[in-house]
Amino acid sequence: MPDVDITSVTVGAAGVGRLDDGRVVFVSGALPGERVEVEVTEHKERFARGVAVGVYEPVALGRRAEPCPFVAEGCGGCDLQHAHEDLQVELKRRIVLESLERLGRCVDPVVEHGPALAPLGYRTHLRVRIVEGKPALRARGSHDLVPIDACLTAHPLVDELLAEAHFADAAEVTLRVGARTGERLALVGPRVGNATFPADVEVVGFDQIAGARRAWFHEEVAGERFRISARSFFQTRPDGADVLVAEVDDVVGEVAGSMVDLYGGVGLFAATVGKGRDVILVEQNRSSVADAKANLDGSRARIVRARVEDWKPSRAPVVVADPARAGLGKTGVAKVAATEAERVALVSCDPGSLGRDAGLLAAAGYDLVRSRLVDLFPQTSHIEVVSRFDRR
């Protein structure tokens, strides 16, 4: 097995080095500055992928023993536990920086760290597979499943259910809780069957949700209360959502006037940053739109159920856009530009998409002023960034 010097890190937090034949190799479990022994798992003509099986020169103050016992059993739920939290956020910052430079062709982009959030016990949303009645998560780099009866990153209200619920013959379960309301919901697939949960948990099957049944829980963020249905997206932690709201407000708060909230979900930004403004919220998901209508009742928001790609843009001085992983892309950027907004807050959950969107926005007349990392998912390579774009 080859030894490789790791020189940088890339999306997914894989270390980057070179094999003796000159090909780039992406090595999971390796950190920049280390020399590692690599088991190559995939050969391509121009690059390879592998896993670090031995580390010769650990980075001083960077590498640590993984705090979760299930990592040693192969659990792939968290892929950055081998790095201290300070190093985790710095690696993520470098990934964002590199993506903005390489994909977005941004010159000297400013990428800042946001405030630190609790590194453990934060996930209020956890989807598990059920194997012989036990919850399980995907193994690293494979479709195998690793049984777990606890999760260090899960919120205590979720963690408790991993140990206390009886999953019986379910195939998969999504556990969702309101950390600040204490409300809990279990979405069980394909049906509830013999699964049982503590009495406070609202339990609903995929089959029931596909029919007429509605099920939701509530969460509080930035002083507002949100209804969140079983199939509606919501940020994975309310303290992180507080920070996202504060960061978006920091970007657009000083610009007066109406706001367009693209990919608006159940109304997180419309109800907070958009409070007191005329808001147009655009969202495609039926369940999220129903929640947004309930959450924004009595406000000045108009909710449009549509794909952003199909929406007929209205003019507004402020746009907040929080797309899924694919980012805005060409069409999304064209919609943003058509609003003639003077200020855009882009919330990105994929650094590659952010880089591409920054390039497209620049071509459409919007300059990147700064990006700020909000580390919503410590221990994992997931990246969340709030960026400010000003119209040229």
Ligand X SMILES: C[S@@+](CC[C@H](N)C(=O)[O-])C[C@H]1O[C@@H](n2cnc3c(N)ncnc32)[C@H](O)[C@@H]1O
Positions that interact with ligand X (CB under 6 A) = 233-235, 263-265, 268-269, 282-285, 288, 307-309, 322, 324, 349
CB of 307 to ligand X, least distance (A): 4
Angle, helix 85-102 to helix 351-363, in steps of 10 degrees: 30
Whose Cβ is closer to ligand X: residue 154's or residue 268's? 268
Residue found by looking up tokens 């699964």 in the block? 195
Considering the complex, state which of residue 178 and residue 265 has its C-beta at the smaller distance from ligand X. 265
Nearer to ligand X, 251 or 308 (CB): 308
d(CA 327, CA 330): 9
DSSP 12-32: TTEEEEE-TTS-EEEEET--T
Q: What is the identity of the amino acid at 319? A: V
Dig out the tokens for 138 from the structure: 């995907």
CB of 284 to ligand X, least distance (A): 4
Report how far residue 240's alpha carbon sits from residue 246's, in angstroms, rounded to the nearest whole number: 10
CB of 98 to ligand X, least distance (A): 23
CB atoms within 10 A of CB 254: 9
- Nearer to ligand X among residue 81 and residue 295 (C-beta): 295
Shortest distance (Å) from residue 126 CB to ligand X: 17
Of 126, 149, 129, which Cα lies nearest the Cα of 138? 129
Cβ-proximal residues to 43 (8 Å cutoff; 6+ apart), any chain? none
> Which CB, 81 or 380, lies closer to ligand X?
380
Supply the minimum distance, in Å, between the C-beta of residue 27 and ligand X. Answer: 29
- Nearest-approach distance from CB 306 to ligand X, in angstroms: 7
Q: Are 168 and 197 in contact (CB under 8 A)?
A: no
Question: Closest separation between CB of residue 53 and ligand X, Å?
Answer: 36
Looking at beta carbons only, is 188 or 289 nearer to ligand X?
289
CA 25 to chain centre: 26
Q: 142: which DSSP letter?
A: S
Q: In whole angstroms, how close is the CB of 265 to ligand X at the nearest point?
A: 3
Q: Which is nearer to ligand X, 161 or 266 (CB)?
A: 266
d(CA 183, CA 82): 33
Helix (H, G, I), strand (E, B), or coil: what is residue 279?
A: strand
Q: What is the DSSP string of 350-385?
A: -HHHHHHHHHHHHHTTEEEEEEEE---STTS----E
Residue nearest to ligand X (CB): 265
User: In the complex with ligand X, which residue's Cβ is closer, 82 or 231?
Assistant: 231
Amino acid at 288: S
